[in-house]
Amino acid sequence: MIPKLRYLAICLATLVITSFSACKEKKADDFSDIKGNYFSIRHYALDQWNMYYGEPFLILKTVRVNKGKYDSSYTTSDTLNWGNIFREFFATEISDRSYLGKYKFTQFDDEQDETHNFFYEAIEEDLYTRKLLIAIDRYTKKVTGIYIEGREHSIFDDRLVKLYYKPMKRIQIQVTETPMFGEKVHTVTEYEFMR
């Protein structure tokens, strides 16, 4: 009988100690008990990469600078420099817990496109990612498009980036650089999947 009482006392003491340690004061920026986070561009890109890796397809790459003549060339999925594309998209990642509360989140339906949309807009001026819009098909629940705006300001120039991804159809990267001295340069690089 005594070993049972000793066991019960140990269990009770453990329960009391863990209860007191759980009551510690929580900091205002402690998100450890919040489930979830904002949409992750990195996770979505990895998912797309894993889904289509090794599938050969032709891509038409078009580059246009300052509304001038454009240059186009064909490439394939296995020879395309994906690093440059991923770098632009990954720079807009907002899924880290440190971004919680720094974006205004809204959701709405687009009856014409039959999509459900998730929209993130930066509250603070110094955040690189200004806007993130994810459109999801109302019936299949698959992403139909991602639009992102990023802005970087420095003493020497301003850089505005607009990114668009329509899954396995089109990637568009628009970059507008406005230097302190010299002309503004607007470059549109587009990748069209020939599937």
Per residue in 120-176, pLDDT tens? 999 999 999 999 999 999 999 999 999 999 999 888 899 999 999 999 999 999 999
Comparing 15 with 104, the larger pLDDT belongs to 104
Distance CA 176, CA 184 (A): 7
Position 20 scores a pLDDT of: 36
Position 163 scores a pLDDT of: 98
Residue 110, domain member (yes or no) = yes
Position 53 scores a pLDDT of: 85
Position 8 scores a pLDDT of: 42
Domain that includes residue 78, residue range = 36-194
Question: pLDDT tier at 76 (50, 70, 90 boundaries)?
Answer: very high
Residue 139, domain member (yes or no) = yes
Position 33 scores a pLDDT of: 40
pTM: 0.78
Q: How does strand 170-179 pair with strand 70-76?
A: unpaired
**Is 50 exceeded by the pLDDT of residue 92?**
yes
Q: Collapsing DSSP states into helix, strand and coil, what is residue 130?
A: strand
Question: pLDDT tier at 195 (50, 70, 90 boundaries)?
Answer: confident
Position 4 scores a pLDDT of: 44
| Residues 186 and 176: beta-carbon distance below 8 Å | yes
Q: DSSP letter at 156?
A: S
Residue 19, domain member (yes or no) = no
Position 56 scores a pLDDT of: 86
Distance CA 96, CA 154 (A): 24
Residue 2, domain member (yes or no) = no
CA 69 to chain centre: 31
Q: By C-alpha distance, which of 166, 169, 164, 167 is closest to 192?
A: 169
Token pair in block for residue 72: 């186009």
Strand partners, 188: 64, 174
Distance CA 51, CA 179 (A): 40
Sequence letter at residue 117: N
Q: By C-alpha distance, which of 92, 87, 71 is closest to 148?
A: 92
Residue 102, domain member (yes or no) = yes
Hey, CA dihedral for 165, 171, 177, 183, is it positive or negative? negative
Residue 23, domain member (yes or no) = no
Q: Collapsing DSSP states into helix, strand and coil, what is residue 76?
A: strand
Residue 51, domain member (yes or no) = yes
Position 124 scores a pLDDT of: 92
Q: Collapsing DSSP states into helix, strand and coil, what is residue 120?
A: strand
Residue 30, domain member (yes or no) = no
**Is 90 exceeded by the pLDDT of residue 69?**
no
Question: pLDDT tier at 68 (50, 70, 90 boundaries)?
Answer: confident
Sequence letter at residue 179: P
Overall domain count for the chain: 1
**Is 70 exceeded by the pLDDT of residue 15?**
no
Q: How does strand 115-122 pair with strand 185-194?
A: unpaired
Q: Collapsing DSSP states into helix, strand and coil, what is residue 154?
A: coil
